[in-house]
A and B are shown apart, each in its own frame.
Chain A
């Protein structure tokens, strides 16, 4: 399986703190994406980083990519209770034709 790994599996923080989630992938990628899933809902696309990029920002989100380590991190700054959700990374692998393979996810709980 090329399913990547995410850590931590669960993260609990206070409102206002920063949350960092990590994702590792297996082989060469076209891009890596992050999604959020609220309880009982579908996944929502947050941000995409291409294999030739090292860092991207979108609002309070910052994503980094280290292709030498085959890893990515998602940082949520100044977290809010509404950020409570599961976060998934998804890799678009060259050898899989580019289809997205999702990691197991990180469950984030932000306490008010």
Chain B
């Protein structure tokens, strides 16, 4: 298995532009998570899906953030419009269970820089 695949690895964009981050989870994993990592706030859970349905989006910081999972093998996290404070590393993770009895598998992350 290739693991969780995220794209792009790096993204540099100007303030006000739309940014779309992509994730392909591990086949057979029913849960998909989007986390954001910053020095100040650490690793924050933004949203998670179960069987392609968004379950908990309480961590999404603002309406500028949206996430979709149109099928079991693809998810997107969109920021529109982007702001400099959105600069962070965004991770996608997938798991068979919410409690992670076998652990969560993380992608390599997308490093977003908004200038």
A residues within 8 Å of B by Cβ? 3, 30-31, 33, 35, 41-45, 48, 88, 90, 92, 97-105
What interface size band does chain B fall in? 20 to 34
Q: Does B70 contact A (CB under 8 A)?
A: no
Q: Does B107 contact A (CB under 8 A)?
A: yes
Choose one: B35, B42, B100; the contact of A48 (CB below 8 Å): B100
* Pair B109/A98 contact, Cβ less than 8 Å: no
Report B-chain residues with C-beta under 8 Å of the C-beta of A30.
99
Q: Does B2 contact A (CB under 8 A)?
A: no
B residues within 8 Å of A by Cβ? 4, 33, 35, 42-43, 45, 48, 56, 91, 93, 97-109
Report A-chain residues with C-beta under 8 Å of the C-beta of B106.
35, 42-44
Report A-chain residues with C-beta under 8 Å of the C-beta of B108.
41-42
Choose one: A31, A43, A103; the contact of B91 (CB below 8 Å): A43
Report A-chain residues with C-beta under 8 Å of the C-beta of B99.
30-31, 92, 98, 100
* Pair B42/A45 contact, Cβ less than 8 Å: no
Bound-complex Cα distance A68 to B45 (A): 27
Q: Which B residue sits closest to A94, measured CB to CB? A: B99
* Pair B56/A97 contact, Cβ less than 8 Å: yes
Bound-complex Cα distance A92 to B104 (A): 12
* Pair B45/A99 contact, Cβ less than 8 Å: yes
